[in-house]
Amino acid sequence: MTPIKLFAFLVQKAGFQEINLDLSDCKTVADVRQLVSKEIPAIEADVAKCMIAVNMEFQTDDCLLTDVSEIAIIPPVSGG
């Protein structure tokens, strides 16, 4: 099981900050995005717009997953 950490408004929508998911069927970041959308329907529409960090480094959807210790899903932010 791999910890998936949520940030900002995703925490409020999901109702929790972290979930542990089995990523054994996930080969890329895109696969993780799809799994998270399925497992947490409350944030499904938002996940497509988020950045995903693997082991504290932002990655593109085509990034292959190897030696993953954590995933972070970070939504876009705005300020004024």
Burial of 14 (0-12, 13-18, 19+ CB in 10 A): buried
Place 79 in a pLDDT band, splitting at 50, 70 and 90: low
2-74: CATH, from 3.40.50.720, 3.30.390.10, 3.40.50.300, 3.10.20.30: 3.10.20.30
| pLDDT on residue 18 | 98
Give the H or E element holding residue 45.
Answer: helix 44-47
pLDDT in tens, 55-70: 999 999 999 999 999 9
Amino acid in position 11: V
Say whether pLDDT at 78 is over 70: no
pLDDT in tens, 9-37: 999 999 999 999 999 999 999 999 999 99
Distance between CA 56 and CA 54 in Å, rounded? 5
Extended strands (E) in 1-80 = 2-6, 18-21, 51-54, 57-59, 71-74
